[in-house]
Structure 1
Amino acid sequence: MDSTFDRLKIGEKFFNSRLMLGTGKYQNMDAAVNSIAASECEIVTVAIRRLPTNLNNDSTSFFNHLDWTKHWLLPNTAGSQTAEEAIRMAFLGHELACQIGQEDNFFVKLEVISDPKYLLPDPIGTLKAAEFLVKKGFTVLPYINADPMLALHLEDLGCATVMPLGSPIGSGQGLNNLSNIKIIIENSNIPVIIDAGIGFPSEASKAMELGADGVLLNTAVSQSKNPERMAQAMNFAVKSGRLAYLAGPMTKKLYASPSSPMNQFSNF
C-alpha cells in the first residue's frame, strides 16, 4: 500500500507514518537513533524538561544526531503537574523547534499529570491548558484517560487530536480500556492516537484495527532487549493494523461456514 494515499493529517500537516516514537529510557544514544530509523516514524516526541535550553551547545545529545528535515518534533510537557507549568513547557518547546529549523512547528503533546503514583492525566488541568494553548495558535495533542466525554470537550476546544491511554504509562499492560477507546474513535472527528501502555506489536496492531489513527509508544521499544528490532516490529504492526481496518474485516458468525462452498464464487 502506498502510504501517500492514506496519510495522517494533524492540524495542517500530513504524515505518511502513523507510528510516533518517544525518546526516553534508551540505554544509549545509538539505540535511540537506530530505533527511530528502524521505526520509519516521522513524529518524534521529546520531553522538554530533559533537553538543554541551547541545543547547539550540547553535541552529546541524540537530538543533534537526528535529521530534522525528515522528522517532526513533538515537544511534550511531561513532568508538568499544573496547567500553568504545561503552558510554560509548550512555549519552551516551540523555542527548541525553532533551533532545529522548524519555526512553523507549534505542535505540543499536552501532559498535565499531578498524580505521582499512577501517572494518570489530570482532566481539569488538561482542559485548562488546552484551551489557552489553542487560542495561542498551538497544535495541541492532549494526553488523556480513555474518557469519551473529555475527548469531545477537547475536540470542541479545537485540539488537533485526542490521545487516550491504553493503560498507565510504561506499564506494558496493553489496551485495558477497549470499550471506551472504541467510543472515542466512533465519536471523534479528529485523529485518535493511542498513547501509553502498549507493550507488544499485537497490541499496536489491535489499536489500529479498531480504527485508531495512530499509535505513540516509547517504553515498549526502549526497554526491549533489542530496541531496533522492536521498533521495526511496531512499524510493521501499525501498518498491518491500518491496512486490515481499511480492508474491512469479515463479519463474525455464530456458526461455522465452509470456506470451500460448492459454488466457489458463492457468498454463502
Structure 2
Amino acid sequence: MINTFDTFKIADKTFNSRLMLGTGKYRTVNDAVDSIGQSECEIVTVAIRRLPTNLNHDNTSFLKSLDWKNLWLLPNTAGSQTAEEAIRMAFLGHELACQIGQADNFFVKLEVISDPKYLLPDPIGTLKAAEFLIKKGFTVLPYINADPMLALHLEDLGCATVMPLGSPIGSGQGLNNLANIQIIIENSNIPVIVDAGIGTPSEATLAMEMGADGVLLNTAVAQAKNPGQMALAMNLGVKSGRLAYLAGRMERKYYANASSPMNQISKIA
C-alpha cells in the first residue's frame, strides 16, 4: 500500500508529488496543460526569459490556464550565462510568482550556463549566484553537474536542494552519471533531485530507486508523440521507484537461490 505520509519537503514547503515538470518545447498549450494534469506534479518550472514581464497584460500566456492554488511555481534562470544574469532572472521570477498569487514564493531553480554546445552548468557562476541569492532570502535549487564536492559546497552555502544532471539537457541519454549521483545522494543532507537527460519512465524509476528525492524533467514529456500519456507514465515511474526504494531491495547473491527450496517442499508434503 502506498504510504500517503511520504511527503517531500523543500525548505519549509511540503509536497506530495516527487515529480517536477518543465513547460518548454510543447507543441501546443493544450499539450502542456494536459501533461501537467496527467503528471500529478505540484511543482512546475518556467523559464523567466520566455515570459512577459506582466501577465496581467498578456492574455495568451498558458500560465493563466493553470491552477496556481494547487501548483507551486519554480521560476528558473535558464539562458543566464553569468551569475549576474541569473540573479536578475531570480528577482524577476519572484515578481512573476507575486502576479499569480504566490507572494511568499522565493523559490528559484538556479541555472548558470555559459557553454552553448553541451549546455553544461558553470560551477563557479552557480556558487557565486547561489551565495548572493541565499543572503537575499531566496530558496535556491541549483542545477549542477554530478559533482559530489560541488554539491557539498552548495549545501554548506544553504541551498535547499541540489539538482545534478543525469545527462545533458534535452538529450534523452538517461543517467550517464550514476556513480557520482549515488555519491551525492549518500553525502547529502538536503533533497537530491535528478534533473536533465531522463528520456523514459524506467530511467526516472532508476533515479528514485537509487534514493533520489525527486525528478525534474521536460523534453521527455513535451516531445513525446503523446505528451499526456508520457506524463502519466513518468508519474507512475517516479512513484514506483520511490516505493521500491522504501521497500528495500533484496540482497544480491552470486549463486542462484531457489524460491521454493526442497526442504520447504518436503515439509509441506
Cα displacement (A) at 1:141:
0.1
Counterpart amino acid of 2:59? S
Distance 1:2 1:102 in 2: 30
**Structure 2 residue aligned with 1:42:** 42
Distance 2:91 2:260 in 1: 61
Cα displacement (A) at 1:2:
4.7
User: Within 5 Å, which residues of 2 pair with 1:104-253?
Assistant: 104-253=104-253
Distance 1:11 1:201 in 2: 27
Q: 1:209-258: per-residue Cα shift (whole Å, max 9, x none)?
A: 00000000000000000000000000000000000000001011000000
SS in structure 2 at match of 1:173 = coil
Contact 1:108 1:138 (C-alpha < 8 Å) held by counterparts: yes
**Structure 2 residue aligned with 1:254:** 254
Contact 2:42 2:72 (C-alpha < 8 Å) held by counterparts: yes
Contact 2:148 2:184 (C-alpha < 8 Å) held by counterparts: yes
Distance 1:257 1:133 in 2: 54
Distance 2:26 2:129 in 1: 29
Distance 2:224 2:2 in 1: 29
SS in structure 2 at match of 1:263 = helix
Distance 2:131 2:3 in 1: 33
Distance 1:155 1:176 in 2: 23
Cα RMSD, aligned residues only = 1.1
Counterpart amino acid of 1:168? P
Cα displacement (A) at 1:263:
2.7
Cα displacement (A) at 1:188:
0.2
User: Within 5 Å, which residues of 2 pair with 1:3-82?
Assistant: 4-82=4-82
SS in structure 2 at match of 1:5 = coil
Counterpart amino acid of 2:35? S
- Structure 2-normalised TM-score? 0.97
SS in structure 1 at match of 2:78 = coil
Cα displacement (A) at 1:208:
0.1
Cα displacement (A) at 1:60:
1.4
Q: 1:129-184: per-residue Cα shift (whole Å, max 9, x none)?
A: 00000111100000000000000000000000000000000000000000000000
Cα displacement (A) at 1:57:
1.5
Contact 1:3 1:17 (C-alpha < 8 Å) held by counterparts: no
Cα displacement (A) at 1:3:
5.2
Cα displacement (A) at 1:4:
3.8
Q: 1:69-125: per-residue Cα shift (whole Å, max 9, x none)?
A: 000000000000000000000000000000000000000000000000100000000
- Structure 1-normalised TM-score? 0.97
**Structure 1 residue aligned with 2:97:** 97
SS in structure 1 at match of 2:14 = strand
Contact 1:39 1:234 (C-alpha < 8 Å) held by counterparts: yes
Distance 1:224 1:103 in 2: 34
* Residues matched between the structures, number: 265
Counterpart amino acid of 2:78? A
Gapped regions of structure 2 (runs ≥ 5) = none
**Structure 2 residue aligned with 1:263:** 264
Counterpart amino acid of 2:34? N
